[in-house]
Structure formats: C-alpha cells, structure tokens
C-alpha cells in the first residue's frame, strides 16, 4: 500500500515511516501541507496520514484539497489535541479515522489495517459494480442449476427492500458474495458496505469494533473510537458468522435492530444509526435456538428474508461453469494463455464433492492455472487427492495431509460448522484451525 505521511514533527515522520515500512507499506513523508499536496499529486497514494496542526496550510485545508484531488483516498488524521469538535469536523470533510498523539506501533498497525480494509472494500465494490453492469437478466450468481436460479430471483427481490437478511450455508458457498450483490443492487449502494467476521475476534474486542468505545473504557483505550456500525451509517452492515456471537453481544445487536441505536463500550449515551443489516452463518441457527445458544428473538429479527445457499455437491451441474469463470479470472492474473479445460479435467472436478465448496474449487483452479504449461488444463495439474482411483484405493494408504483434511471436514460437519466447538474437539486453538481451513481451501 502506498502511504504518504504529512506531519511537521520529524520524530513523528521517522517513527511512522519505520513502522509502516515494517508493515510492508511504500512510504513517503513531507513536513508541511504544501509539499504534501505536491507529493500526493505526483505519487498517486492510497492512504495519507495527516497532522491537523501544521504551520502554513493547516491539516483541515490540506484534507479538503487531498479529497478534491482524489475522492477515494483514505485519510487518517493525526492530532495531539483530539477534541470531539475537530475530529467530527475532519470526519465530515472526508477523514476515515484518527490517531491521537502519542501513539504506539500497535495502534498504527490497527488503524492502518482498518484503512487498508476500507480501501480494499471500495475497490472490490467498484469491481462488482462494473461486473453487475455487464450482467444481463438474472444471472447474478454463475449457475445452471434450478436451485441457484431461485437464489438469483430471491436476490433480485430482496435487494429492492430495506429488510434484514439472513444468509445460511456451509463455509465457502459464497455468502459474502451474495451479501455484496444485495448491497450493490439496493438503494443504499452509494453508501458504505462494512463487513466483519464475528468468528475472528474475541468478545471484548468485537464489541469495541462494532460499537466503538469511550476513552478509558478498558486498558489501552487512550482515546474514544467510533465503531463499525457508525461507519456503516446510511449503508449496509454485513455480519459474517453471526452464529458465533456471545449471548451478551447478541443482546446488544438486538438493541441495534430494535432501537436503531448503539452504546459505545464504557459509554452512557446512545448514538442513532441507520443501517441495513445482512447476516450470514454456517451454523444451523434453528438448532442453536433450540439449544439455547442463540436468542430466538434475534433469530427472527435477522431472518425476515432468509436465503439458503446449497453446497456445491448438491448442484454439480454448476461446477463446469464456475470452473470456466475461475480459469478466466486466474489465467488473466497469472498472464497465462490458458484457453480451455479438457473433458477429463472437467470430469474429475465433477466427480468430487467439494467439502470446501466454491472457495475450494477456486483454490484448485488457481493452483491448476499456475502449474499447467499448455493452453489446456489437464488432470495432471490437479492435486493428488482429486485423482484417487476407487479401484486402486485399497492398494494405497492415504497421506497424513489427506487424513488431516478429511478429519477436519468430518469434525466441522459433526459440529454444525461451529469452528470454536470443532477446534475444541480437534484439540487445537481457533487460530490453528483457521490456518488449516485456509490451507485446505475451506475458507
């Protein structure tokens, strides 16, 4: 990520430069607003860290000029005087977030990671807009199966409303893609699409991310922070893996839906928000309601318009079409002249049940594109576990990797796709499980 620092304090510039370069950023720094604007126009930067108080052209004026030069640039303001009025004014002028002085490398990492995610979402949304403009009829999801045609039609109907949506389906079936399509086809498409994976953050951190916090709310909360619900105000908020929410967070989410207001962690005043909520889960929520692990009132509030995505093994007729799409996508990325798939290649794909669903299929195609040296994808470019011959299965033992992959898939299904429970059964922590799921193409 190409990042520009504009700050009149040399120690701040040097410290930020060192931290950001460790994080992989391409960094430049200037000491005043005029030089910063010149460098920004020359360099084409993705993100700017901007001090509010500088001699000459001050931070607010510089902020306005940066936004005029590039409305899509992500701007994080730096201030040693974080008054609510100055911060709110900067947000109204287009700033995304702020760093209060003094700050630690960890705070820089967190703020710039959020800014980078925002830029990524904007880029992906713009790509999706272009793709949707090119789409004809109701083919928003690549499909030939009757079940997915029904999903396409439902996406069309749901997108026109402002009602909450619950998307269910196994991991890798494309729940976030459907959420983004609903957003892109909705009246809220000009506002923000904010997504958060509820399974990736601890409860205390998740609540701070969702609702924000006030200064002093907990150790390390040295300044107030806006939550993601506030950032999504007027737009669409996507809660992925909502089945992993704790009972306490479920209660707070219910308040957001019912009252359209949030209370920051440690705060006493509420703030109004207007968001369209889309949730997704790979958990059997009806069973979770029966088990008492998911609130029944929240379930009904979320699932006003439910959409269920069938696993890929239940619609094998879609595999060739999806595979062609991924071949085109990854051949272009790899700059390879791969034109087609052999019939044998397609036959092997079509005979596999894809426990990792569409995500696993894409990973397999990406690997095949990298390995293949001809213009046609052949079975030899597929991973070994897809090429098992049933008649020869008794002559060989599975590898440890194959055993591990199959066992993880088995445990996940037995646990109703609950990752925390599956990690406990497997005797590993959640981070290790998530890494292995990514390794095997499950996420």
Q: Per CATH, is 311-387 categorized as 1.10.8.60? A: yes
Q: How far is CA 25 from the centre of its chain?
A: 20
Is residue 362 a contact partner of residue 326, using CB atoms and an 8 Å limit?
yes
Average pLDDT over residues 277-292: 92
Q: How far apart are CA 347 and CA 316, in angstroms?
A: 11
CATH 1.10.8.60 domain span(s) along the chain: 311-387
**pLDDT tens digits for 387-429?**
865 444 444 566 777 788 888 888 887 777 788 888 888 888 8
**Torsion of Cα atoms, 64 then 65 then 69 then 71, to 10°:** -10
CATH 3.40.50.300 domain span(s) along the chain: 135-310
Range name among 60-64, 94-98, 166-170, 319-323 with the lowest pLDDT average: 94-98
The architecture of the domain spanning 2-116 is: 3-Layer(aba) Sandwich (3.40)
Is residue 167 a contact partner of residue 307, using CB atoms and an 8 Å limit?
yes
Q: Which two three-digit tokens encode residue 337?
A: 């002249």
Q: Which two three-digit tokens encode residue 187?
A: 């009246």
Is residue 210 a contact partner of residue 228, using CB atoms and an 8 Å limit?
yes
Residue 386 clears pLDDT 70, i.e. is over it? yes
For 393-443, which CATH class? mainly alpha
- Please tell me the predicted confidence (pLDDT) of residue 320: 92
**Among 101, 104, 5, which Cα is nearest to 47's?**
5
Q: How far is CA 278 from the centre of its chain?
A: 13
Q: How far is CA 277 from the centre of its chain?
A: 15
Any residues with CB less than 8 A from the CB of 20 and at least 6 apart, and which? 3, 5, 27, 108, 112
CATH 3.40.50.2300 domain span(s) along the chain: 2-116
- Please tell me the predicted confidence (pLDDT) of residue 105: 87
Token pair 């092997």 is found at 348
Specify the CATH superfamily of domain 135-310: P-loop containing nucleotide triphosphate hydrolases (3.40.50.300)
How high does pLDDT run on average in the chain? 84
User: CB 191: neighbour CB atoms within 10 A?
Assistant: 17
**Phi, psi (rounded to 5 degrees) for 432:** -65, -40
- Please tell me the predicted confidence (pLDDT) of residue 84: 67
Highest mean pLDDT: which range of 13-22, 102-111, 115-124: 13-22
Is residue 54 a contact partner of residue 12, using CB atoms and an 8 Å limit?
no
Residue 441 clears pLDDT 90, i.e. is over it? no
DSSP 8-state secondary structure symbol assigned to residue 385: G
Q: How far apart are CA 429 and CA 427, in angstroms?
A: 7
Residue 99 clears pLDDT 90, i.e. is over it? no
């Amino acid at each position: 990520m190409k990042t520009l620092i504009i700050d009149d304090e040399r120690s701040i510039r040097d410290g930020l430069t060192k931290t950001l370069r460790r994080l992989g950023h391409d960094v430049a720094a200037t000491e005043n607003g005029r030089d910063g604007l010149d460098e920004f126009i020359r360099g084409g930067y993705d993100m700017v860290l901007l001090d509010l108080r500088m001699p000459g052209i001050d931070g607010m004026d510089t902020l306005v000029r940066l936004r005029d030069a590039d409305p899509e640039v992500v701007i994080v303001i730096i201030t040693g005087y974080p008054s609510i009025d100055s911060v709110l004014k900067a947000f109204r002028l287009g700033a995304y977030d702020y760093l209060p002085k003094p700050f630690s490398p960890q705070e820089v990492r967190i703020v710039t990671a959020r800014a980078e995610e925002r830029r990524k979402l904007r880029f992906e949304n713009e790509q999706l807009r272009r793709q949707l403009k090119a789409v004809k009829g109701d083919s928003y999801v690549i499909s030939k199966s009757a079940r997915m045609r029904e999903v396409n039609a439902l996406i069309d109907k749901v997108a026109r409303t402002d009602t909450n949506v619950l998307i269910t389906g196994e991991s890798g079936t494309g729940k976030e893609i459907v959420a983004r399509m609903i957003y892109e086809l909705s009246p809220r498409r000009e506002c923000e699409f904010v997504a958060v994976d509820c399974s990736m953050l601890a409860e205390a951190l998740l609540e701070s991310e969702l609702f924000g916090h006030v200064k002093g709310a907990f150790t390390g909360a040295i300044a107030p922070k806006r939550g993601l619900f506030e950032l999504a105000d007027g737009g669409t908020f996507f809660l992925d893996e909502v089945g992993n929410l704790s009972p306490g967070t479920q209660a707070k989410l219910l308040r957001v839906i019912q009252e359209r207001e949030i209370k920051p962690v440690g705060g006493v005043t509420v703030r109004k928000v207007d968001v369209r909520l889309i949730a997704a889960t790979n958990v059997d929520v009806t069973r979770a309601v029966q088990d008492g692990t998911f609130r029944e009132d929240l379930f009904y509030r979320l699932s006003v318009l439910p959409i269920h995505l069938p696993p890929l093994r239940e619609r094998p007729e879609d595999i060739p079409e999806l595979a062609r799409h991924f071949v085109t996508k990854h051949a272009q990325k790899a700059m390879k002249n791969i034109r087609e798939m052999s019939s044998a290649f397609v036959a092997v794909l079509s005979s596999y049940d894809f426990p990792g669903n569409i995500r696993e299929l894409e990973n397999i195609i990406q690997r095949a594109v990298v390995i293949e040296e001809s213009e046609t994808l052949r079975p030899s470019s597929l991973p070994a576990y897809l090429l098992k011959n049933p008649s020869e299965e008794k002559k060989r033992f599975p590898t440890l990797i194959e055993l591990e992959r199959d066992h993880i898939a088995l445990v996940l299904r037995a646990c109703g796709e609950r990752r925390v429970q599956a990690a406990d059964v497997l005797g590993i922590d959640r981070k290790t499980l998530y890494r292995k799921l990514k390794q095997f193409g499950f996420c």
